[in-house]
Amino acid sequence: MTFYQKWNGDLKISSLRAAYMQGVSPIQVLETLVERIQAYGMVQPPVWIRLIGKEAILDEARKAINAYPDKMQRPSLFGVPFSVKDNIDVQGLPTTTACPPLTRRATKSAPIVDRLRDQGAILIGKTNLEQLATGMTGCRSPYGTLSCYGNIDFIVGGSSSGSCISVRAGLVSFSLGSDTAGSGRIPAAFNGIVGWKATKGTVSCSGITPASQSQDCVAVLANNVSDARTVWDVIKGYDPDDIYAKPSYCLTVSPKEPTHVFAVPPAEALEACSQGFRRMFGLVISHLVKYGWQFEVIDWSAFEDAGKLLYEGTFVAERIAGLPDAWLENHQDQLHPDIREIFIKTIENPKTAVDVFKDLHAQQHYIRCAEQILSKFDFLLVPTAPTHLKISEVLADPIKKNLALGDFVHFANVLDLCAINIPAGSLYPWQLSSDEVPVEGSSARGEVFQRLPFGVTLLGTRYHDSELLAFANEIEQTALNAIRL
């Protein structure tokens, strides 16, 4: 019989490293996680599209233990469990992108998966997502609809819904998702975890089913900023097989001189938020000011107009361009109804190639405007989402409600910004439309509710990823850690 040191159950990467140094075995951790996954499957079955078998996972752990008997020589992610969104290739496994007719069996893994495994990370499984990674509600998967962690009436967010829940429910240490229009940041905000996307082209998207290939990014879902940075340090870098990859030297640009001043949207932009989310955002700002930060309101027009390019301009057609030739004409009845409606409307749209170039030119103009505006700030701060919707609200008006969630996320990739969502407190569901301050432990109305997480996003100019993560870590540990409602 093998005896292990007792593990406290903490899956944060730094905690696992410490536990392994103290004699906890990855086998012990993974056996516990298998039990957790089985138990949580009774709560929300649709988290996973495919799980790796228990024996295969334990075999990976044994290989890692044998390969690194010296605890001091272990790689950065030794024994760290992770999941991937099922639009990311893993050799030998199907990639469904939540669209069964487009399922393919991967002949090789995405480079980012290989990099993680080379550093000792252990893959647990592939997670649910909205079909073709198109959506931000989590309500568009043939494999089932997830809900917000701890509150079954509210949306989980998407499209990286399963990846987010696998982290929030304590089933893995981190997960890889994708983020084209907010698909990593939105679910992270709705479930109280960190969602990070680097500057476009600085993390390989090879081996990932394209959504809008020119705008796609990898998302890292993690428990804190430190873990997100640890994963990013492993997966970042130039990939010659990624046609949108940027040279590695881009991330070595000289850092800006810190100002301790951040930018915020004007009041009229924040009117898109529910009362509760506006109040929460104001609370975050006030806490940052208490910790020595200053802020300025900026001209929002370039950010608003850039965001509209994704779904209200011609860029949405790129989602169809990513499908095999003639596939849509022959298989549209096999698509989720919401996805089918979006694609058919796009095809029927009378816009021309001239309009595409006009939008591309507009994009470059907005990028230049945003760079000039943000050049004097450490970062731009926004509420990640304008509100948190109920599943029933989305199902009643799925296209409009989904689009409304994008006010503060859609522009990021269009403007080539890096971005990170950080948890920033919580509120009761009834506070979404109220300015009342809750009584801790129960609502002022005598009702008992599971609180809904609130998240803010920090955005930085392209290639200043490392600086943005440093600011995010500082704020996470100080001002945001101090928020208590």
Catalytic option among 85, 197, 200, 401? 85
Integer angstrom CA distances of residue 33 from 10, 36, 40, 78, 149: 11, 5, 10, 16, 18
Contact (CB, 8 A) for 337 and 139: no
- The greatest distance separating any two alpha carbons of the chain, rounded to the nearest whole angstrom, comes to 72
Which of 294, 314, 313, 295 is closest to 304 using CA atoms? 313
Whether residue 71 lies in the annotated active site: no
Contact (CB, 8 A) for 199 and 179: no
Which of 362, 365, 346 is closest to 354 using CA atoms? 362
Whether residue 256 lies in the annotated active site: no
Whether residue 166 lies in the annotated active site: no
Which of 317, 387, 344 is closest to 137 using CA atoms? 387
Within 8 A by CB and 6+ apart from 483, the residues are 283, 284, 287, 424, 425
Which of 25, 16, 18, 37 is closest to 167 using CA atoms? 37
Strand boundaries in 359-439, DSSP class E: 379-383, 418-427
Adjacent-strand bridge partners of 136 = none
CA of residue 254 relative to chain centroid, distance: 27
Crossing angle (nearest 10°) for helices 54-67 and 26-40:
160
Catalytic option among 109, 160, 178, 183? 183
Dihedral angle at the C-alpha atoms of 44, 45, 47, 49, nearest 10 degrees? -170
Catalytic option among 25, 109, 147, 159? 159
Tokens of 121: 């990370």
Which positions are catalytic?
A: 85, 159, 183
